Amino acid sequence: MPELPDVETYRQFLDATARRKQIRRVRVADSQVVDDTSQRGLTNRLKNRRINQTRRHGKHLLVKFGADRWLAVHFGMTGDLAYYKDEDNAPDYAQAIFDLSNDYHLAYISQRKLGKIQPIDNPDEFIEQEDLGPDALAGLDGAEFVDLLAGRQGTIKSTLMNQSLIAGIGNVYSDEILYRARVHPATTVKSMENRDLKKLWRRLQSVLTKTIEKQAQPNQLPASWLVRRREEGASCGICDGTIIKRKFSGRGAYLCDTHQKRK
């Protein structure tokens, strides 16, 4: 799940629930999801500090505790957050639990343990160290996007998913953007005209923005969207074509066999 719109939704959820609350202690169920420190290290670092601020860059959630302590949270393929009071309501796969001063708990969920939490000193330095490109939604404008892609070698789908180029787009939303822009995923970037890239940019913005508006719930998005019909053999929501599945750079891609022709 967790691509940019999902992580933005988690950020808003965290702001609406645990923000301003004080940390009492942190419990870590599986140390594998915590980098560079331990349960005790996290508790020492965060105890009695308030969750003061949240940021998002691409698929990373950055959380500020007290005046200057930050955690970088990444969700991998199966991450989520939960906020609850009663231990009976603790979610499955809660790998780290932040006990709060109001007797509630904020859980970091990671079923497949492919995500991680790590303490960082400074968000901007972290983004730099991780070699993340500008945030796909807030980090650049259309002209900068066109410049960024100019001269690129690869295919458009893998380019959109390249986090060091632009941060936040994953497999599902790259498919959605290309489907709505009528571009075949294996189209080479260099074969695209500037106006094609500008159009793609507008689609990219509208897909991400509308998905966030619906709190990244696919069933709330228009029925014509690919995310509502990611299934081989489904009817296309845009033309009279059929949805097919292909593999590009190792990832399963869904596309319409009719309005996304390879050029």
Binding residues (CB under 7 A) for DNA: these are 1-3, 6, 32, 58-59, 74, 76-77, 111-114, 130, 152-155, 158-159, 161, 163, 170-172, 216, 218, 245, 248-252
Closest CA to 42 of 84, 122, 97, 90: 97
Cβ proximity to DNA: between 68 and 131 the closer is 131
What is d(CA 174, CA 176) in angstroms, rounded to the nearest whole number? 5
Name beta bridge partners: 81.
108
Cβ proximity to DNA: between 51 and 58 the closer is 58
What are the DSSP E strand ranges found in the chain? Answer: 23-28, 51-57, 60-65, 69-74, 79-84, 94-100, 105-110, 116-120, 243-248, 251-256
Cβ proximity to DNA: between 45 and 152 the closer is 152
Closest CB 81 distance from DNA, rounded Å: 15
Cβ proximity to DNA: between 67 and 219 the closer is 219
Q: Is the dihedral of CA 247, 174, 122, 74 positive or negative?
A: negative
Name beta bridge partners: 242.
235
Contact predicate 191/159, CB 8 Å = no
Residue with tokens 């990832």, as numbered in its chain: 251
Q: Please state the φ and ψ torsions of residue 5, each to the nearest 5 degrees.
A: -65, -35
Contact predicate 149/134, CB 8 Å = no
Cβ proximity to DNA: between 172 and 192 the closer is 172
Closest CB 178 distance from DNA, rounded Å: 14
Closest CB 53 distance from DNA, rounded Å: 22
Closest CB 22 distance from DNA, rounded Å: 30
In the structure encoding, which two tokens stand for residue 120, read together?
A: 């960082």
Closest CB 147 distance from DNA, rounded Å: 13
In the structure encoding, which two tokens stand for residue 214, read together?
A: 């619906």
Residue with tokens 């420190």, as numbered in its chain: 37
Closest CB 73 distance from DNA, rounded Å: 12
Closest CB 8 distance from DNA, rounded Å: 12
Q: At what angle do helices 142-149 and 194-213 cross, to 10 degrees?
A: 120
Cβ proximity to DNA: between 37 and 159 the closer is 159
Closest CB 251 distance from DNA, rounded Å: 6
Cβ proximity to DNA: between 1 and 238 the closer is 1
Cβ proximity to DNA: between 161 and 178 the closer is 161
Residue with tokens 């609850």, as numbered in its chain: 84
